[in-house]
Amino acid sequence: MWRLFRRRRLRASGASASLAEARSRGERAEAGHRFERDLDEELAFHLRSRIDDHVRRGLNPADAERRARLEFGGVDKYKEQIRDARPLALVDDLARDLTYAWRSLRRTPVFASTAIVAIALGVAVNAGLVTLVYALVLRPLPVKDPGTIRNVFMSTRGGGSRGTYGTPYFVSFPEFVFMRSQSRTADLAAVAEASLSCTCAAGGQLRAQLVSENLLPLIGARPALGRFFTADETKTPGSAPLVVLSWATWQQQFGAAQDVVGRTVNLNRTPFTIVGVADADATGPLVVTPDVWLPYTMQAITRPGGMLIDEPTFGWIQILARRRPGVSDSAMRAELSVLGQQSLLPHNPDRTATVVVSPGAFLNYPMIMQNGAPVMAIAFLAVSLVLLIACANVANMLLARGLGRRREIAIRVSLGAGRARLLRQFLTESAVIGALGGVIGLMLSQAAARFVLASVPKSAMTGHQIDLSPDWWIVAYTLTVSLATSLFFGSVPALRLIRRDLTPALKTERGIRSLPGWRIPLQSALVAGQTAITLVLLVNAGLLVRGLDRALRMDLGQRADNVLIASFNLQQEQYTAEPAGRLLMNLRDAVAQSAGVVGVSMTVNDPLLGGCGMRARTIGADGRPSERFDVACEQVGGEYFKTMRVAVLRGRGFTLDDVRRGARAAVVDERFARARFGDADPLGRFVRLGRDEDGDDEIVGVVATTSGIAVDRRIRPKVYTPIRGFMEGRLLIAHDGRTEAVVSVLRARVAEADPNLLVSIKSIEENVRLALSPVRIAAAAAAALGLMGLVLACSGLYGVVAFSVSRRLREIGIRVALGANRTDLLRMIVGQGLRPVAAGGAIGLLLAAAGGHLIRALLFGVSPIDPITFTATVLALLAAAALAAIVPALTALRLDPMVALRDE
């Protein structure tokens, strides 16, 4: 009788033999399942006692057992109820579901690993992007108590003269001093960046932070040796040539000498006394870690003439604040807004201050947050689409597998397993996939973020301290995303499976047979969705690649090859404008004579990268100045247009003599001429750049409009003037391809002129590359995302076709046996498999056509609905999809029809 009970129990717990085995083997093996054993024994005892009683009353054993069972009711139903009544039933159930899920995934390793990899890839790109954004604009600064550190950004609007060096959020020295002395809500500290020449450093250059005396204590830095600055030492400009070394500089450049304090070093040819060394954890509040700290009152030595610190209308100081206890951000903002406005009164009375108080993070300037948001939104959309494709894949696989398990499910439901319980089991399985995918995805995302960061041009990133390591926010985000998506996409097939009327599944030998052959709408819809999204990603990638290609071939209206750009550290070497001009002119003359050189000129802006913007007026024929308008400005040397091959359309370019005597002449581009003068002759007219008191320049020539390749192309009319800012001058050397020879001649000439002067030489091709690097990165990222989407979508399609073919093996077998043409059959299977692809593709085309407009800025004139890109992408997608459908179809057709027929 015990035997009988056991048999019944086995059948009850799941008719699928494997399931029952799995349960009895696995669960019984575990000590934690003593509960189940006891429960079985208790219920068995009850039944046996009842049967004994019935037998004693004269029933035969078989009737007695039947009677006892009827009286007892559904054993499994009550067992389920009992399990629920147990203390910690939830935890126990969870453990059981997890074990079950793990075991069922282990039984289908291909399915499991495909699903996990799909989720991992989808999550990786998503978390990778979030990691990057977090590290750049959200992560708290690497300082003590970052929670109360705030960035204070003040911008100004209105009339009067105002300049900033760096971001528009920097304030001038008197403004900072005023705000700091008046603020009751926060302690304000000043920081600015500079680079210095020092023979003490390898490479001759040091990165410096110019700071108020409270900055280092404010960020929690401690002196490892000596001391930091005192309040007196940062009061009067130029009074305290003192320097604090960073720990790394002390270790690397000074051999960790204990007697370093008190030594003198020459920074920008000015003697400074070392007063201290900061501890190793002090890396500063900015993206770039400094080698040394100087009092910000020593700013003048970084720019001879002291043009910044003596100029109250020139912003160069970034404000870092430590909020005082009990103060809210809004109170702080309110106070600093008032103080900021007051600080402008003495020198900028016509301007209005806007103050923003942001959490202490690296690059969260309001401008970056505003301009970056749409870019980030597009990027986030793209990575989310990849995640969506991955999840649709997983949903499809779960659904296919679930359909294969319909009979098992039907039996379990009919035996009293609650649907909620089944749903939970399915979802546990999805959660396991999601968790494993999430963990792998987290690791991949780290690699992805690092890879992206590494592909940013080095020159912009020297000495950065961007921290990509995941903190709890990132880990929590990643796992939440992976679990949420896998649970959501797991619930779709799970709900569908348990919702169905299960009777047909029970009635047939193999449940799946009773379902209509091809029509699996949910699966088809998922494939269609994947196709649509993939097409969008691929089209955008294609457009970006075409845009990049276009940009590389674009006629810039000027020379973009075989030009060397030489720049000098004239400021650091304490040059002033006049000797700097003489030096550059002499170098120009010396290099122009050398073999291989076809032209030499000068410029201030870094060609194709740098830019200069100004407000200007033109002077009417009647002598009345026009309203101010925006222009791009360019200060250039003699023979610039010849050297850079910019066509002179009217009048003349600048001569060497124009530059030498500082002629008040201007050359405008065609866009300027047309916009300001229409058909009238601009030659002989005047343009007034900047302030009215600075005077007018006579227009002597009109040149062809050049087009930049930087992504941010605010198209403005351009005015060229003879170079005056020699301190920032660069030599442009056009050559015939003999780069090496020209470089060595140039270095020799510079060394002859001033042995201390550092010259850095790069080719204009490097600038082209740099200017295009955002496009290149975007194109590479889009291509990577598109290919990932393609692979995922194709593997999804493969799975669906393979699954539907496997369900029709018998039908296929019959058709083949009856002499159907295999080619026709293949065409039929593939055709039916591709139907959702075609539908999805059509939707995708519409979406892609709409989406292309979002990235227009990166396309360099390629149409967002470029027919070549669209056609090529659609063909590639169809080819890949056809391949994904043909492979499983061929496999099925290759089967011996007899095997297929017998497959029961």
User: Does residue 77 interact with another protein by CB under 8 A?
Assistant: yes
Give the shortest CB-53-to-another protein separation in angstroms. 8
User: Does residue 811 interact with another protein by CB under 8 A?
Assistant: no
Q: Which of 1, 15, 43, 443 binds another protein (CB under 8 A)?
A: 43
**Residue 299 CB partners (closer than 8 Å, separation 6+):** 173, 192, 194, 210, 237, 306, 308, 309, 316
- Please give, one letter per residue, the 3-state secondary structure of 28-50: HHCHHHHHHHHHHHHHHHHHHHH
Closest CB to another protein among residues 74, 620 = 74
Helices H / strands E in the chain, number of each? 28, 23
Q: Which of 21, 30, 84, 549 binds another protein (CB under 8 A)?
A: 84
> The tokens 């006692």 sit on which residue?
49
User: Does residue 73 interact with another protein by CB under 8 A?
Assistant: yes
Closest CB to another protein among residues 84, 350 = 84
Nearest to 363 by CA among 261, 288, 470: 288
Please give the backbone phi and psi of residue 520, each rounded to the nearest 5 degrees, phi first: -125, 80
Contact 350, 162 (CB under 8 A): no
Give the shortest CB-465-to-another protein separation in angstroms. 50
Q: Which of 11, 32, 49, 199 binds another protein (CB under 8 A)?
A: 49
Nearest to 448 by CA among 135, 134, 128: 128
Sign of torsion over alpha carbons 363, 367, 368, 370: positive
**Residue 427 CB partners (closer than 8 Å, separation 6+):** 487, 490, 491, 494
- Please give, one letter per residue, the 3-state secondary structure of 399-463: HHHHHHCHHHHHHHHHCCCCHHHHHHHHHHHHHHHHHHHHHHHHHHHHHHHHHHHHHCCHHHCCC
Contact 379, 343 (CB under 8 A): no
Tell me the C-alpha distance between 156 and 344, whole Å. Answer: 9
> The tokens 């649509």 sit on which residue?
532
Q: Which of 9, 27, 40, 48 binds another protein (CB under 8 A)?
A: 48
Closest CB to another protein among residues 8, 144 = 8
User: Does residue 41 interact with another protein by CB under 8 A?
Assistant: yes
User: Does residue 81 interact with another protein by CB under 8 A?
Assistant: yes
Give the shortest CB-483-to-another protein separation in angstroms. 19
Sign of torsion over alpha carbons 541, 546, 547, 552: positive
Closest CB to another protein among residues 81, 371 = 81
Q: How far is CA 293 from CA 14, 211, 218, 268, 431, in A?
A: 74, 7, 14, 14, 51
> Of the ranges 37-45, 225-233, 425-433, 582-590, which one interacts with another protein (CB under 8 A)?
37-45
Tell me the C-alpha distance between 693 and 691, whole Å. Answer: 5
Q: Which of 71, 232, 549, 692 binds another protein (CB under 8 A)?
A: 71
User: Does residue 497 interact with another protein by CB under 8 A?
Assistant: no
Closest CB to another protein among residues 54, 180 = 54
Closest CB to another protein among residues 16, 358 = 16
Give the shortest CB-501-to-another protein separation in angstroms. 12
- Reported as type and span, the H/E element at residue 368 is helix 366-404
Closest CB to another protein among residues 69, 324 = 69
**Which DSSP string corresponds to 193-259?**
EEEEE-TTSTTSEEEEEEE-TTHHHHTT--EEEE----TGGGTSTT---EEEE-HHHHHHHSTT-TT
Give the shortest CB-491-to-another protein separation in angstroms. 14
Neighbours of 218 (CB within 10 A): 22
Q: Which of 11, 28, 62, 90 binds another protein (CB under 8 A)?
A: 90
Closest CB to another protein among residues 5, 803 = 5
Q: Is 467 helix (H, G, I), strand (E, B) or coil?
A: coil
Closest CB to another protein among residues 56, 894 = 56
Length of the chain: 904
Give the shortest CB-67-to-another protein separation in angstroms. 8
Give the shortest CB-47-to-another protein separation in angstroms. 9
> The tokens 């870094």 sit on which residue?
606
Closest CB to another protein among residues 307, 506 = 506
* Greatest Cα-to-Cα distance within the chain, rounded to the nearest angstrom: 131
Q: Which of 7, 32, 63, 89 binds another protein (CB under 8 A)?
A: 89
Nearest to 442 by CA among 110, 116, 782: 116
Q: Which of 52, 92, 310, 811 binds another protein (CB under 8 A)?
A: 52
Contact 347, 312 (CB under 8 A): yes
Give the shortest CB-90-to-another protein separation in angstroms. 7
Closest CB to another protein among residues 42, 657 = 42
Closest CB to another protein among residues 72, 451 = 72
Give the shortest CB-24-to-another protein separation in angstroms. 20
Give the shortest CB-496-to-another protein separation in angstroms. 17
User: Does residue 82 interact with another protein by CB under 8 A?
Assistant: yes
> Of the ranges 84-92, 488-496, 679-687, 806-814, which one interacts with another protein (CB under 8 A)?
84-92
User: Does residue 38 interact with another protein by CB under 8 A?
Assistant: yes
Q: Which of 87, 203, 262, 678 binds another protein (CB under 8 A)?
A: 87
Q: Give the CA dihedral 705, 711, 714, 716, nearest 10 degrees.
A: -10
Q: Which of 4, 8, 16, 50 binds another protein (CB under 8 A)?
A: 50
Tell me the C-alpha distance between 721 and 687, whole Å. Answer: 11
Nearest to 189 by CA among 360, 346, 348, 347: 360
User: Does residue 75 interact with another protein by CB under 8 A?
Assistant: yes
Closest CB to another protein among residues 120, 413 = 413
Closest CB to another protein among residues 294, 497 = 497
Give the shortest CB-63-to-another protein separation in angstroms. 14
Q: What angle do CA 876, 882, 884 make, to 5 degrees?
A: 105
> Of the ranges 36-44, 324-332, 584-592, 603-611, which one interacts with another protein (CB under 8 A)?
36-44
> Of the ranges 85-93, 363-371, 635-643, 708-716, which one interacts with another protein (CB under 8 A)?
85-93
Closest CB to another protein among residues 261, 417 = 417
Contact string 401-440 vs another protein (x = CB under 8 A): ------------xxxxxxxxx--x----------------
Q: Is 262 helix (H, G, I), strand (E, B) or coil?
A: coil
Give the shortest CB-95-to-another protein separation in angstroms. 15
User: Does residue 450 interact with another protein by CB under 8 A?
Assistant: no
Total residues in contact with another protein, by rule CB under 8 A? 38
Closest CB to another protein among residues 46, 184 = 46
Cα end-to-end distance, the chain, whole Å: 35
Q: What angle do CA 777, 782, 785 make, to 5 degrees?
A: 125
Give the shortest CB-52-to-another protein separation in angstroms. 7
Give the shortest CB-22-to-another protein separation in angstroms. 22
Tell me the C-alpha distance between 278 and 259, whole Å. Answer: 15
Give the shortest CB-488-to-another protein separation in angstroms. 18
User: Does residue 72 interact with another protein by CB under 8 A?
Assistant: yes
Binding-site ranges for another protein (CB under 8 A): 38, 41-43, 45-46, 48-50, 52, 69-75, 77-78, 80-82, 84-87, 89-90, 413-421, 424
